Structure 1
Amino acid sequence: MEGDACLASFIDRGSVESHRYFLARRTVLEMLRDRGYAVPAEDIDLSLAQFRSIYGQEPELQRLRISAYLRDNCTEKVLVLFCGPAPVTLPLLRVIIASVEIEISRLILILEQKPTASAREAIKSLPYKAETFQIEELLVNVTKHVLMPTHQILSEEDKQSLLKHYNVKENQLPHMLASDALARYYGLGPGSVIKVTHIGDDIGQHVTYRCVI
């Protein structure tokens, strides 16, 4: 039946594993771009079919790794590693870290299981900034939600101008926790200030500022 054939065209006949890695990797690439890293647009725009033709139905984790430099500072390099389904224990973490280049300034680990307590402590003690995300957090880009307002990260200069203009200290601004999904997406630490622009039929345009704590 023609109708059945049309519906069948929407069925994903590939592996769930490859689909999850495709979605997570695309979100990571968008996240790096939004943080100011140089990421090729063609990598972000890769379709699921193209992804599978390159990486297969069961992608090798080593091939999924991503590295990029900041657009305005070629000495700042980030490395993204997918850790796979195995429990992230201290021995596994040591194997992963052994494969990391010395010259990176930031490491992002994509996990499928929560790390053990000893592994978490080891991550904190690394000589470069290290972040972890569960793969489920990256299947959807939180900044693309239809109800999400526009977020703009203020430069240090703009932040100081804002504080001076309103004669306030940063701790007097509304807060955003460093554990907030938006703060984690942009890689923000304490003291970062975000301009939040809400647009709606009932309120028009409304701007607020939030400081990460």
Structure 2
Amino acid sequence: MSSVEAEVTRLYRVRRTVLEMLRDRGYVISDTSADDLGMTAAEFENNFTASGYSRDSLTMFKQLRANAGEQIYVFFPRDVKLGKAAVDEYKRRLTNEGVARAIIVLQGPMTPSANKAVGEMEPAVRLELFLENELLINITKHVLVPQHEVLSDTEKAALLARYKLKDSQLPRVQKKDAVARYYGLTAGQVMKITRPSETAGRYCTYRLCVG
């Protein structure tokens, strides 16, 4: 396999994981459309080749199923090492379009100034950073990873009321945890984790996102 073929295969896998991640977060993603998860590897190769192998052609724009006003971009930067100028350009685009959230799929590390610029954008604009290597597989499909579900604010309030707890009394999960990142958790959100049990069939635990 040539280096170009390897890159195309790699990006196809990364793209699928990103789409699955967005679907699991509640964004409108089709399992059958050729624009989403229905795209075959051959179709992806044809499209990517026709674009001149432009990573800009991989840009995604999706809406939350429960609220079309909540939108997200996914960017695939051309530069192997993302710099501040590119981050500033993303910020201008997001600000101009009124989009407050984006994912950047990185080929490699960012420059220190770019990393600083990302931090300075929060909380007005949230940029989530993933390396391509982190998205080659969907970690939530691993046999050792139990079922995860992010609770809504209403579900969180009901949980705390049922057990007469404050959220600070829940076990914690760091925002940088791999599964927390997959679901895009922010501090204060609660994740429900369902595991199989030999005696009870299954049991649930809850984790508060911190950090």
Query: 1:171, CA displacement in angstroms?
Result: 1.4
1:107 aligns with 2:97: no
Aligned-residue sequence identity (percent) comes to 35
Query: 1:92, CA displacement in angstroms?
Result: 3.6
Report the TM-score when normalising by structure 2. 0.87
Residue 80 (structure 2) aligned to one of 63, 80, 86: 86
2:128 alignment partner in structure 1: 131
Residue 51 (structure 1) aligned to one of 22, 44, 49: 44
Q: Deviations over 1:116-172 (max 9, x none)?
A: 221011112234111111111100011111121111111111111111111211111
Report the TM-score when normalising by structure 1. 0.86
Question: Cα distance 1:202–1:147, how it changes in 2: closer, same or farther (>3 A)?
Answer: farther
Q: Deviations over 1:84-123 (max 9, x none)?
A: 3521122343345455553212111110111122101111
Residue 195 (structure 2) aligned to one of 198, 209, 213: 198
Residue 15 (structure 1) aligned to one of 2, 5, 12: 5
Q: 2 CA distance for matches of 1:200 and 1:145? A: 18
Q: Deviations over 1:27-65 (max 9, x none)?
A: 111111111111222211322122112212963111100
How many pairs are equivalent? 203
- Paired AA for residue 106 in structure 1: R
- Higher radius of gyration, 1 or 2: 1
Q: Deviations over 1:144-201 (max 9, x none)?
A: 1112111111111111111111121111111110000111111111111111110155
Query: 1:203, CA displacement in angstroms?
Result: 6.7
1:158 aligns with 2:166: no
Q: 2 CA distance for matches of 1:106 and 1:121? A: 17
Q: Which shows bigger deviation, 163-172 or 41-50?
A: 41-50
1:70 aligns with 2:67: no
Alpha-carbon contact 2:56-2:78 (below 8 Å) kept: no
- Paired AA for residue 124 in structure 1: G
Runs (5+) with no aligned partner, structure 1: 1-10
| Cα RMSD, aligned residues only | 2.2
Query: 1:13, CA displacement in angstroms?
Result: 9.8
1:145 aligns with 2:142: yes
Question: Cα distance 1:207–1:60, how it changes in 2: closer, same or farther (>3 A)?
Answer: same
Q: 1 CA distance for matches of 2:2 and 2:37? A: 20
- Paired AA for residue 39 in structure 2: L
Secondary structure of the corresponding residue to residue 206 of structure 1: strand
Q: Deviations over 1:3-24 (max 9, x none)?
A: xxxxxxxx89971111111111
Q: 2 CA distance for matches of 1:34 and 1:137? A: 17
Question: Cα distance 1:202–1:130, how it changes in 2: closer, same or farther (>3 A)?
Answer: same
2:164 alignment partner in structure 1: 167
